[in-house]
Structure 1
Amino acid sequence: MDFFPAFLRLTDRQVLVVGGGDVACRKVDLLLRANANVTVLSPELHPFLANYADKGRLAYLCKNYEEGDLAGFDQIWATTDQRKLNHQVYSDATARGLWVNVVDDPNFCHFITPSMVDRSPIQVAISSGGASPVLVRYLRERFETMLPQNLAMLANYAGKQRDRIKEHFNTVDERRKFWERFFRLPEVEHAKQVEELESAFSRLLASPEATNQTITIVHIGRDPELLTLKALRLMQQAEYVLYSHDCPDIFVDLCRRDAERELVQTHELIEKAVDLAKQDIRACVLTSALPTKEMMQAASQLSNKPIFVSASDTKA
């Protein structure tokens, strides 16, 4: 491990960015989002940064860099297009015991910034230690499609319920089990409004032991590349995968790796899924045939409607 992963609190910390060009723009924008007190030092300033300076969001020192400019700062960024100058900043900052990042030059960094999937307050950071930035961007794009867009709402809502939960459950273990059940509720995963979360929360709080699981039925078709993002995400959430003889292995392999898998006769798929769901096990049915009305009615024995996703339905 070349770099230790960590998230830094920069609120009100003094951060110096040496350089005022395109690279500085990207870094300054992120630093301001983290509520850092940013000072940019450069003889010239990009219009994007000049706009921030005019609005009082950053301090601007219009000058060439000197070693004494580091005094009073907690963190240093070297973003100029002059390699020699960046390395000088690194040497000077290191001598003062300051953390420094020379952008795009990991050998001259005490820390690096990962690629991020931001659903604040939920953040997912991905890094290759500078070895393969393009691969990291590719992985970030994959995670962006896999992670629900309502994560920020979920996290903020859950954070406000801590005292409320403590009134109902005395132990950490009880509270943990409650939250695990809550976040797995289909109506929670697909919620778009806080009111939907509150409804699910109140109901589960009133009956914490009630089973309320939903079956996912994925019509696989023939081409795995036609699977929708929604189908792939639900397949990754499955705890138990049920499939028949006519289901190609590639579709089963695309499901969550640690999920239980069972080969079942086609006419028994839904019945088996219902049994699992009644045990509060998240079941995913992979079928090459469109579910019949009878199959869907059988699945509807649960309190939630079954989720049906078709490989050929790009709107799913």
Structure 2
Amino acid sequence: MNSLPLFHRIAGTRVVVVGDGEAAEAKRRLVERAGATCCTEAEAHHARLAFVALDDAREAAAAVARLKARGLLVNATDRPELCDFTVPSVLDREPVLVAVGTGGASAGLAKHVRLRLEALLPPSLGRLARALHAGRDRLRARFPDGGDRRRALDAALARGGPLDPMAESSSAQVEAWLDGAEIPAEAACMEIVLHSDDPDDLTLREARWLGQADTIVHDPGVPVAILDRARADAVRRPAGEPLPMGGQTVVLRRAKAAG
């Protein structure tokens, strides 16, 4: 590991962005999305971070040197050798953030890893985090001992637990779990009709279903590339067999040809 991943709070601060064009505009959008204000190099004394997006190599190196001399941490677009930090590809499930970085080796690779994760992590993940944050005092009251509290939370958040992060209903279960209520394991059966043999044609919701299913029931001829999007330990059954009574089941059907 040649970098230390950190989440840097910049809301309400100023961040220097040097340059014009699409790369500089992308950095400005990123800075503003995180709640900071973009400023020029002349205003660098108000800032702690800087982005340099200049096409000319000499101009970029000079700008980086000036900003570093003023004590700023600097990122230079497409010039990892000049960077104090790199910018990861970010999966946003506010307040949950998943950052994928390659240390500047390949932004494209980081993006495509993040896109795969986008298909697996449900939008409800942020709601679950907020519900757990709101219930911190009640969690401490129910489990005064820190070790007991950690073990209870680990069990609840484990795969198949009442607060399983991959289950879209988990955020709605937090109140009952904090009250000590028994929450039955959720059983569900979802059907996916395949109109293509390309796994990239799955919707985000369908990809999440496959990623969290305990059992896959499939028609003959469903491509291995699609079946491989399921969990490695998921049970696979051919269509026609009785459906399991518990857990999450996904049924894969091939679309019928027209005519």
| TM superposition score normalised by structure 2 | 0.75
TM-fit CA distance, 1:218:
7.4
1:237 to 206, 212, 219: 212
Number of the residue aligned with 1:19 = 19
Deviations 1:118-168 (A, max 9, x none): 111111111222222222222222222222122222222222122222232
Kept in 1: contact 2:176–2:183 (CA 8 A): no
The equivalent of 2:37 in structure 1 is: 37
CA distance in 2 between counterparts of 1:168 and 1:85 reads: 59
Conserved? CA contact 2:163–2:171, under 8 Å: no
Partner of 2:254: 312
Listed one character per residue, the Cα deviations across residues 160-215 of structure 1 (whole Å, up to 9, x for unaligned) are 12222223233322243334423228xx8234xxxx844x3344445555542426
Instruction: Check if 1:201 corresponds to 2:174.
Output: yes
- Please report how far the alpha carbon of residue 102 of structure 1 lies from its aligned counterpart in structure 2 after TM superposition: 1.1
SS in 2 for 1:123: strand
**Could you say which residue in structure 2 is the equivalent of 1:142?**
116
| 1:86-235 paired onto structure 2 within 5 Å | 86-170=60-144, 171-172=148-149, 173-180=151-158, 181-184=161-164, 189-191=167-169, 197-198=171-172, 200-206=173-179, 208-209=181-182, 211-214=184-187, 225=198, 228-229=202-203, 230=205, 232-235=207-210
User: What residue number does 1:66 align with?
Assistant: none
Q: Distance in 1 between matches of 2:171 and 2:76?
A: 44
**Could you say what secondary structure the match of 2:74 adopts?**
strand
Separation of aligned partners in 2, 1:147 and 1:215: 18
Q: Percent identity?
A: 25
Inter-partner Cα distance in structure 1 for 2:192 and 2:94: 34
Evaluate the alpha carbon distance shift between residue 25 and residue 254 of structure 1 in structure 2; reply closer, same or farther with a 3 A threshold.
closer
How far residue 27 of structure 1 moved from its aligned partner, in angstroms, is: 0.7
Q: Which of 222, 228, 237 does residue 287 from structure 1 map onto?
A: 237
Q: Conserved in 1, the CA contact under 8 Å of 2:48 and 2:71? A: no
Distance in 2 (CA, whole Å) between partners of 1:254 and 1:22 is: 35
The one-letter amino acid of 2:211's match is Q
Quick one: structure 1 residues 96 and 197, their matched pair in 2 at CA, closer, same or farther if it must change by over 3 Å?
closer
Within 1, Cα distance between the matches of 2:111 and 2:18? 26
Q: 1:151 to 1:311 in 2, by over 3 A?
A: farther
Instruction: Specify the code of the residue in structure 2 equivalent to 1:201.
Output: V
Instruction: Kindly provide the amino acid, as one letter, of the partner of residue 36 in structure 1.
Output: A
Distance 2:51 2:125 in 1: 31
Structure 1 spans left out of the alignment, 5+ residues: 42-60, 62-68, 260-283
Distance across 1 between alignment mates of 2:175 and 2:19: 53
In 2, Cα distance between the equivalents of 1:197 and 1:136? 29
Equivalent AA in structure 2 for residue 14 of structure 1? R
CA distance in 2, matches of 1:208, 1:142: 35
Deviations 1:39-62 (A, max 9, x none): 135xxxxxxxxxxxxxxxxxxx6x
Q: Which residue of 2 aligns with 1:256?
A: 231
Report the structure number with the largest CA radius of gyration. 1
The verdict on how the C-alpha distance between 1:212 and 1:39 changes in structure 2, with shifts beyond 3 A counting, is same
- Partners of 2:30 and 2:96 lie apart in 1 by 15
SS of the equivalent of 2:78 reads coil
Query: What is the CA distance between 1:26 and its match in structure 2?
Result: 0.9
Change (3 A) 1:134 1:197: closer
